[in-house]
Amino acid sequence: MSRESSDLDARVSRDLAARIREIDGRLSNTSSRAFWLGHCRFLCRFAVSEMFELVEHFLPHTAYSLSGCLPVEHEIRCLVSEQLCIEVSSIVQEFEPTFKVETFVDDPEMVCWEWPELRIWLVEPLYHSAKFVIIQEPVRNRVTLVLSNPNVKTQIMRVLRELYLRELEAHGGILLHGGGFVKDEEVTLIVADKCCGKTTAMLTGLLISEMEYLANDRVLVVQDGEGLAVLPFPMAIRVGWGTARAFPNLHVPDLSTLYRPQDPRLAGETSEAATFGSGIKLELTPLEISQFMRVPHSGGGKLKRILVPAIQKTGSGVKMTKLNHQQALDELSGQVMTPIDEKWCNPWLLPRQVCSEAVREMLERIVQNADVFRVAYGFGDVDELRQNLRNDVRRAEELSGLLSHG
């Protein structure tokens, strides 16, 4: 290494260290709260109280405790400082990035500068006007976000989701394209392609007494002692306008009162928005679904049964068909998002620690642990579907009671 490059490296290190000390000082007396997802404990230390509100909108108040799984803790810190954003991004740009990675489909790449025990992350096109900087200290399991303004606080959830997903994958979990509901810590998992009625089936299940909301679009299935658990993945819930109209609890008079920005085309209730399969959808947080449907937000439960909905424009009643082992395996294989997800392309904060063989083994265990049913129904069959789901849950409860007294 030349004397010139050595001096530059030393100066950059000093400048970065000075900024990190300033960030540490600003965050030293801020409020902190702990949130749990599965075996992951997230100690959040935020300079602005509304950042806690963001996390509360996506995470359940209580977590499901996994058997035989040691807890892991990550610290997530966040403050707002446009000046620090500019300064940190300017310092690291004196070096070439260590690597780049595409983390989300159609989003700009994340760019990383890596030193021993430290990583700095920026979004590629925003070097000179960074909206946020992510400082990662892998040895300490700590990630600090420096935001240029509060409007980009959703990056907190981006970091939390990435850490949670990779930790569960490292524990043998897999991500599925699915949702579900919970009663007495037993999960009815719903998996299906887009526009097959997954959200309608999930919302219908929530109409049954004592049900809890789990998730709508992504879930994690993970080993739980001798059985399997299904855990929520914290994402917004996108509900088709026609589906929302079918559930009185989701009639929102003023869309501006919702937590997330909404598609302006929803305000006029256009025919385009009401068309089946339209991409114009209502966006709700898990907390809002919980509040509107008047159900708790579940932290997970034991896998009990799996539904594969098949909605049709014209229906002639609800038809439930139990799938054989291979049929069930084929359906689940088409909805698995580990190791390749259609949205989250590549790991970045933590490495992926799961292989294709482990995924296949987990799918086999899922099919062995739960009955899988295809549920065909039409747009007008929601009431009958609710009755079928209620009867199915009741039969399972009765069978469980007989076995426990046998």
> Nearest to residue 186, comparing CAs of 166, 167, 210?
210
75 DSSP assignment: E
CB distance 53 to 80 below 8 Å = no
**In the prediction, which pLDDT does 277 show?**
62
* Domains delineated in the chain: 3-167 (no CATH), 173-236+285-405 (3.40.50)
Classified as helix, coil or strand, 406 is: coil
Tens digits of pLDDT across the chain (406 residues): 444 456 557 777 889 999 999 999 999 999 999 999 999 999 999 999 999 999 999 999 999 999 988 999 999 999 999 999 999 998 988 888 999 999 988 888 999 999 888 999 999 866 567 899 999 999 999 999 999 999 999 999 999 999 999 999 999 999 999 999 999 999 999 999 888 889 989 999 999 889 999 999 999 999 999 999 999 999 999 998 888 888 899 988 899 999 999 998 887 666 566 666 677 899 999 999 999 999 999 999 999 999 999 887 766 788 889 999 999 999 999 999 998 888 888 999 999 888 889 999 999 999 999 999 999 887 777 677 777 777 766 655 544 443 333 3
Residue given tokens 């129904």 in the structure block: 377
DSSP string, 272-337: HHHSTT-S-EEEE-HHHHHHHHT--B---EEEEEEEEEEEESS-SS-EEEE--HHHHHHHHHTTB-
Q: Count the neighbouring beta carbons within 10 Å of the beta carbon of residue 372.
A: 22
Question: What is the structure's pLDDT at 363?
Answer: 97
How far apart are alpha carbons 253 and 236 in whole angstroms? 20
Contacts of 123 (CB under 8 A, 6+ apart): 108, 109, 110, 111, 130, 131, 132
Q: Which residues of 172-199 are buried (b: 16+ CB within 10 A; e: fewer)?
A: bbbbbbbbbbbbeebbbbbbbeeebbbb
**Pairwise CA distance, residues 396 & 293, whole Å:** 24
DSSP string computed for 186-220:
EEEEEE--TTSSHHHHHHHHTTSTT-EEEESSEEE
Strand extents, DSSP E, 132-250? 132-137, 142-147, 174-183, 186-191, 212-215, 218-224, 227-232, 237-240
Q: What is the pLDDT of residue 274?
A: 64
Q: What is the pLDDT of residue 243?
A: 85
Helix (H) or strand (E) holding 44: strand 40-46
- Predicted local distance difference test score (pLDDT) of residue 385: 75
Residue 187: per-residue pLDDT: 97
Rounded to whole angstroms, what are the CA distances from 382 to 178, 179, 278? 19, 17, 20
